[in-house]
Amino acid sequence: MAIRNIIKEGDPVLNKVCRPVEKFDGRLAQLIDDMAETMREANGVGLAAPQVGILRRVVVIDVGDDHGLIELVNPEFVEQSGEQECTEGCLSSPGQYGITKRPAKVKVRAFNRRGEVVEVEGEGLLATACCHEIDHLNGILFKSHVIRMLDPKELDGE
Ligand code: NI
């Protein structure tokens, strides 16, 4: 596994629509392992492949609950319901946080690294993470969902 460089906001790579994964091979497994390691090293709860410069539809999420590491290849929403406000940031926009409005519950269908169909249902932070990361695959950053950016002074412990 290897830590990859996280691309920062302002780089046009982050505004591109990613292509679906077609080959479930060793290279995909390596990418997913590297993304998981990169996310953890940066203390993030999610990371999308374009953030490491790969324009493919791959996401990793770990919100610290009993799902553990979630890997989503070619993810699609099958359900979204309700609404919640969240405090959201992004590893590509270090130190910047905002209040966003997102669905309260989501259900996502995707493939794992072996090409098997997986379904993830989440609410709260997991729902937000799914929405945030899948947005990245469509070139959308969290700021387009922000109602209000937070002043750094409003953040606890920062
Ligand atoms: Ni992000």
Active site residues: 133
Binding residues for Fe cation: 90, 132, 136
What pLDDT does 79 receive?
98
What distance in angstroms lies between residue 94's CA and the mean position of ligand 1's atoms? 10
3-state helix, strand, coil in the chain (%, to 5): 30, 30, 40
- How far is the centre of ligand 1, averaged over its atoms, from the C-alpha of 13 (Å)? 13
Residue 136 host element (H or E): helix 124-137
Q: Which residues of the chain have pLDDT under 50?
A: 158
Please report the pLDDT score of residue 7 as a whole number. Answer: 98
| Start-end of H helices in 14-109 | 26-41
- Provide the pLDDT for residue 154: 78
- Which residues make up each annotated binding site? 90, 132, 136
Phi and psi based region of residue 21 (left: phi greater than 0; alpha: psi -120 to 50; beta: remaining)? beta
Q: If you search the block for the tokens 């699609």, which residue do you land on?
A: 76
| Spatial distance between the Cα atoms of 124 and 106, rounded to a whole number of angstroms | 9
Q: Which residues surround ligand 1, an ion (CB under 5 A)?
A: 90
pLDDT at 157: 54
In angstroms, the CA 94 to CA 97 distance is 9
CA–CA distance, 85 with 147 (Å, rounded to integer): 9
102: which 2 tokens? 């997102």
Query: pTM (2 decimals)?
Result: 0.95
Q: Which pLDDT score is estimated for 64?
A: 96
Q: How far is the CA of 46 from the centre of ligand 1 (A)?
A: 7
Q: Taking a C-beta distance cutoff of 8 angstroms, is the pair 19, 56 a contact?
A: yes
Residue partners of 32: CB distance under 8 A and separation at least 6: 58, 60, 71, 73, 113
CA of 147 to the centre of ligand 1 (A): 17
pLDDT at residue 158, as a whole number: 47
Q: Are 91 and 47 in contact (CB under 8 A)?
A: yes
